[in-house]
Each structure stands twice: as structure tokens, then as C-alpha cells.
């Protein structure tokens, strides 16, 4: 990845909703306790860590690629047969095609 691509990716992450929500949740306990200037410094430090640290960047990319579902329940695994049966399997009922099964 070129330096220019990294800058574009960093800007995209900085504007991501998940980053904004994480920063706001992190700052919430300090509101009203510390001066606004300190909150601004904390905001910048937290955001920088989120968008520059390779580990947090990898997690953010995963979150952005597969957003949280609207409701809970079973999610079919990609490539699993719709009826839950694998024609290549014989015998028991395992392999129903649901993650976490």
C-alpha cells in the first residue's frame, strides 16, 4: 500500500461512524470533569490510536466490512446449502450450515 493510499484509508477511517461512536463513548466519563481543551486533546489521541495502530485498523476494517446485524438470530454461513444439508456428507446431522452450531 502506498503512502497516498494509507492517507486515504486513514481519512476514511477517521470519518467512519464506528470511530466517532468509540471516541464519544471513551470521552463520556470525562465530560464535565475536565476542561474542553483536555477533551479535545483526548479526542485527538484516541482517534489517532484507532486509525494508526495496525491492530485497531484491522479490527475497524472487519467491523466496517461486516456491520452488526439489525436483530439477533442464526446467520447462514456463506456457501452453506439453504436446506441445511450437505449433499457430500453422510450419516449424522452435524454440519447444518449455521455458524456457532
For residue 76, the 8-state DSSP code is: B
Q: pLDDT class for 30, splitting at 50, 70, 90?
A: very high
Neighbours of 25 (CB within 10 A): 10
Check residues 101 and 75 and name the one with the higher pLDDT.
75
R_g of the chain computed on alpha carbons? 21
Helices 36-52, 3-14: inter-axial angle, 10-degree rounding: 130
Name the percent of the chain lying above pLDDT 70. Answer: 69
Helices 54-65, 3-14: inter-axial angle, 10-degree rounding: 60
SS3 48: helix
What are the structural domain ranges in the chain?
Answer: 7-65
pLDDT at 40: 94
Cα separation of 60 and 52, whole Å?
11
pLDDT at 2: 58
Cα separation of 60 and 53, whole Å?
10
Structural element, H or E, at residue 63: helix 54-65
pLDDT in tens, 47-94: 999 888 999 888 888 877 776 677 888 777 777 776 656 556 555 555
Amino acid at each position: 500500500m502506498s503512502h497516498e493510499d494509507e492517507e486515504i484509508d486513514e481519512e476514511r477511517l477517521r470519518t467512519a461512524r464506528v470511530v466517532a461512536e468509540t471516541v464519544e463513548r471513551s470521552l463520556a466519563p470525562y465530560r464535565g470533569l475536565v476542561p474542553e481543551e483536555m477533551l479535545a486533546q483526548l479526542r485527538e489521541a484516541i482517534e489517532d490510536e484507532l486509525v494508526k495502530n495496525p491492530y485497531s485498523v484491522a479490527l475497524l476494517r472487519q467491523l466496517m466490512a461486516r456491520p452488526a446485524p439489525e436483530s439477533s438470530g442464526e446467520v447462514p454461513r456463506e456457501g452453506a446449502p439453504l436446506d441445511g444439508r450437505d449433499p457430500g456428507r453422510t450419516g449424522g446431522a452435524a454440519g447444518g450450515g449455521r455458524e456457532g452450531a
